[in-house]
Amino acid sequence: MIAASRSSRSLAFAFAGLWFLALPTANAAEQYTLAPPAPQSAVQAVEIHFQVAGTAEFAIEKGQSLAHPLYAQATLKFRERALPGSGREAQTLRALRYYDAIEAKIRVADHETSPQLADNRRLLVAEGRRDGILFYSPQGPLTALELELLRAPGDSLGLFALLPPKPVAVGEKWSPPTWAGQMLTASVSVSRS
Protein backbone atom coordinates (compact mmCIF):
# COMPACT_ATOMS: atom_id res chain seq x y z
CA MET A 1 0.00 0.00 0.00
CA ILE A 2 2.83 2.39 0.73
CA ALA A 3 4.46 1.58 -2.63
CA ALA A 4 1.21 2.26 -4.49
CA SER A 5 0.81 5.55 -2.67
CA ARG A 6 4.34 6.61 -3.56
CA SER A 7 3.76 5.64 -7.19
CA SER A 8 0.53 7.66 -7.37
CA ARG A 9 2.21 10.59 -5.72
CA SER A 10 5.16 10.38 -8.13
CA LEU A 11 2.78 10.27 -11.11
CA ALA A 12 0.89 13.30 -9.76
CA PHE A 13 4.16 15.24 -9.28
CA ALA A 14 5.36 14.22 -12.75
CA PHE A 15 2.07 15.42 -14.31
CA ALA A 16 2.20 18.70 -12.36
CA GLY A 17 5.81 19.21 -13.47
CA LEU A 18 4.91 18.67 -17.13
CA TRP A 19 1.97 21.07 -16.80
CA PHE A 20 4.21 23.82 -15.35
CA LEU A 21 6.80 23.27 -18.08
CA ALA A 22 4.13 23.50 -20.79
CA LEU A 23 2.56 26.66 -19.30
CA PRO A 24 5.35 29.13 -20.27
CA THR A 25 5.44 27.66 -23.78
CA ALA A 26 1.71 28.23 -24.23
CA ASN A 27 1.97 31.80 -22.91
CA ALA A 28 5.09 32.57 -24.96
CA ALA A 29 3.24 31.62 -28.14
CA GLU A 30 0.41 34.05 -27.34
CA GLN A 31 0.83 37.30 -29.29
CA TYR A 32 -0.31 40.81 -28.47
CA THR A 33 -1.11 43.72 -30.73
CA LEU A 34 0.39 47.02 -29.57
CA ALA A 35 -1.03 49.78 -31.73
CA PRO A 36 -1.94 53.46 -31.60
CA PRO A 37 -5.60 54.35 -31.02
CA ALA A 38 -7.90 53.75 -33.97
CA PRO A 39 -8.98 56.85 -35.92
CA GLN A 40 -12.03 58.55 -34.42
CA SER A 41 -11.55 56.63 -31.14
CA ALA A 42 -11.99 58.17 -27.72
CA VAL A 43 -10.32 61.45 -26.83
CA GLN A 44 -7.08 60.99 -24.88
CA ALA A 45 -5.73 63.47 -22.32
CA VAL A 46 -1.98 64.04 -22.68
CA GLU A 47 0.40 65.96 -20.45
CA ILE A 48 4.08 66.49 -21.30
CA HIS A 49 6.66 68.01 -18.91
CA PHE A 50 10.27 68.55 -19.88
CA GLN A 51 13.41 70.45 -18.91
CA VAL A 52 16.47 71.13 -21.02
CA ALA A 53 19.78 72.56 -19.89
CA GLY A 54 22.92 73.07 -21.91
CA THR A 55 24.87 75.61 -23.92
CA ALA A 56 23.68 77.54 -26.95
CA GLU A 57 26.44 78.42 -29.40
CA PHE A 58 26.10 81.31 -31.84
CA ALA A 59 28.41 81.91 -34.79
CA ILE A 60 29.70 85.50 -34.68
CA GLU A 61 32.47 85.44 -37.26
CA LYS A 62 34.09 82.88 -39.47
CA GLY A 63 35.56 80.25 -37.17
CA GLN A 64 34.42 82.03 -33.97
CA SER A 65 31.39 81.43 -31.81
CA LEU A 66 29.81 82.78 -28.66
CA ALA A 67 28.44 80.36 -26.04
CA HIS A 68 25.66 81.12 -23.54
CA PRO A 69 24.03 78.88 -20.95
CA LEU A 70 20.59 77.66 -22.02
CA TYR A 71 17.71 76.46 -19.84
CA ALA A 72 14.14 75.64 -20.86
CA GLN A 73 11.19 74.04 -19.14
CA ALA A 74 7.69 73.49 -20.42
CA THR A 75 4.37 71.82 -19.66
CA LEU A 76 1.94 71.01 -22.46
CA LYS A 77 -1.58 69.76 -21.72
CA PHE A 78 -3.85 68.77 -24.56
CA ARG A 79 -6.66 66.47 -25.57
CA GLU A 80 -6.26 64.51 -28.77
CA ARG A 81 -8.24 62.21 -31.02
CA ALA A 82 -6.57 59.97 -33.60
CA LEU A 83 -7.24 60.81 -37.25
CA PRO A 84 -6.85 58.62 -40.34
CA GLY A 85 -3.31 58.72 -41.72
CA SER A 86 -2.50 60.71 -44.84
CA GLY A 87 0.17 58.43 -46.29
CA ARG A 88 2.66 55.73 -45.36
CA GLU A 89 5.25 55.34 -42.60
CA ALA A 90 5.33 58.44 -40.35
CA GLN A 91 2.37 59.99 -42.16
CA THR A 92 0.07 57.28 -40.82
CA LEU A 93 0.28 59.05 -37.43
CA ARG A 94 -2.16 61.95 -37.20
CA ALA A 95 -4.21 63.53 -34.42
CA LEU A 96 -6.59 66.42 -33.85
CA ARG A 97 -5.58 68.28 -30.69
CA TYR A 98 -6.93 70.97 -28.43
CA TYR A 99 -4.28 72.55 -26.19
CA ASP A 100 -5.74 73.36 -22.78
CA ALA A 101 -2.51 74.84 -21.44
CA ILE A 102 1.06 75.53 -22.50
CA GLU A 103 3.50 76.96 -20.01
CA ALA A 104 7.09 77.54 -21.07
CA LYS A 105 10.13 79.44 -19.86
CA ILE A 106 13.27 79.75 -21.95
CA ARG A 107 16.41 81.42 -20.63
CA VAL A 108 19.52 82.09 -22.70
CA ALA A 109 22.22 83.83 -20.63
CA ASP A 110 20.29 86.56 -18.73
CA HIS A 111 17.42 86.84 -21.23
CA GLU A 112 14.19 84.97 -20.35
CA THR A 113 11.08 84.52 -22.49
CA SER A 114 7.73 82.84 -21.90
CA PRO A 115 6.26 82.12 -25.34
CA GLN A 116 2.50 81.56 -25.60
CA LEU A 117 0.09 79.92 -28.01
CA ALA A 118 -2.61 82.31 -29.28
CA ASP A 119 -6.09 81.45 -27.99
CA ASN A 120 -7.42 81.11 -31.54
CA ARG A 121 -4.65 78.57 -32.38
CA ARG A 122 -5.34 76.01 -29.63
CA LEU A 123 -7.12 73.63 -32.05
CA LEU A 124 -4.40 71.95 -34.13
CA VAL A 125 -3.59 68.95 -36.29
CA ALA A 126 -0.39 67.06 -35.48
CA GLU A 127 0.90 64.91 -38.35
CA GLY A 128 3.89 62.59 -38.40
CA ARG A 129 6.73 63.22 -40.84
CA ARG A 130 10.05 61.41 -41.21
CA ASP A 131 11.86 64.52 -39.91
CA GLY A 132 9.48 65.27 -37.01
CA ILE A 133 5.90 66.35 -36.39
CA LEU A 134 4.12 68.86 -38.59
CA PHE A 135 1.66 71.13 -36.76
CA TYR A 136 -0.99 73.23 -38.45
CA SER A 137 -4.16 75.02 -37.42
CA PRO A 138 -7.41 74.94 -39.40
CA GLN A 139 -7.93 78.51 -38.13
CA GLY A 140 -4.83 80.03 -39.74
CA PRO A 141 -1.03 80.00 -39.85
CA LEU A 142 1.19 79.51 -36.81
CA THR A 143 4.16 81.73 -36.06
CA ALA A 144 7.69 80.29 -35.92
CA LEU A 145 7.71 80.82 -32.13
CA GLU A 146 4.39 78.95 -31.74
CA LEU A 147 5.74 76.05 -33.80
CA GLU A 148 8.85 75.82 -31.63
CA LEU A 149 6.66 75.87 -28.54
CA LEU A 150 4.69 72.85 -29.80
CA ARG A 151 7.74 70.68 -30.61
CA ALA A 152 8.22 68.74 -27.39
CA PRO A 153 10.38 65.67 -26.82
CA GLY A 154 8.28 62.63 -25.95
CA ASP A 155 5.29 63.71 -28.04
CA SER A 156 2.56 61.04 -28.07
CA LEU A 157 2.83 60.60 -31.87
CA GLY A 158 6.53 59.89 -31.44
CA LEU A 159 5.76 57.26 -28.80
CA PHE A 160 3.30 55.53 -31.16
CA ALA A 161 6.10 55.31 -33.75
CA LEU A 162 7.99 52.96 -31.39
CA LEU A 163 5.22 50.32 -31.40
CA PRO A 164 5.76 47.07 -33.33
CA PRO A 165 4.21 46.86 -36.81
CA LYS A 166 2.73 43.39 -36.18
CA PRO A 167 1.56 41.31 -33.18
CA VAL A 168 4.42 40.21 -30.90
CA ALA A 169 4.89 37.53 -28.26
CA VAL A 170 6.12 38.25 -24.74
CA GLY A 171 9.91 38.71 -24.89
CA GLU A 172 9.98 39.16 -28.67
CA LYS A 173 12.14 42.01 -30.01
CA TRP A 174 11.51 44.48 -32.84
CA SER A 175 13.26 47.50 -34.28
CA PRO A 176 11.39 50.78 -34.66
CA PRO A 177 11.70 52.61 -37.99
CA THR A 178 14.76 54.81 -38.45
CA TRP A 179 12.68 58.01 -38.35
CA ALA A 180 11.04 57.19 -34.97
CA GLY A 181 13.94 58.49 -32.86
CA GLN A 182 13.98 61.89 -34.52
CA MET A 183 10.21 62.21 -34.19
CA LEU A 184 10.32 61.20 -30.52
CA THR A 185 13.12 63.56 -29.48
CA ALA A 186 11.86 66.52 -31.56
CA SER A 187 15.41 67.26 -32.66
CA VAL A 188 17.23 67.61 -35.93
CA SER A 189 20.55 66.55 -34.47
CA VAL A 190 22.01 66.00 -31.05
CA SER A 191 25.63 66.56 -30.12
CA ARG A 192 27.26 65.56 -26.90
CA SER A 193 30.60 66.72 -25.55
List the pLDDT tens digit at each of the 193 positions of the chain.
333 333 333 333 333 333 333 344 445 578 888 777 776 678 889 998 989 899 988 888 888 888 999 999 999 999 999 888 765 666 678 889 999 999 999 999 999 989 889 999 999 999 888 778 889 999 999 999 899 889 887 788 878 778 887 888 888 888 887 777 777 776 554 444 4
- The answer to whether residues 94 and 84 touch, using CB atoms and an 8 Å cutoff, is yes
The pTM score is 0.67
pLDDT of residue 187: 59
Q: Is residue 107 classed exposed, middle or buried when 0-12, 13-18 and 19+ CB atoms within 10 A define those classes?
A: middle
pLDDT of res. 91 = 65
Return the closest-CA partner of residue 83 out of 43, 116, 50.
43
Q: What pLDDT does residue 98 have? A: 96
pLDDT of residue 162: 80
Q: Quote helix, strand, coil % in the chain, to nearest 5.
A: 25, 40, 35
| pLDDT at residue number 137 | 94
Distance CA 169, CA 156 (A): 24
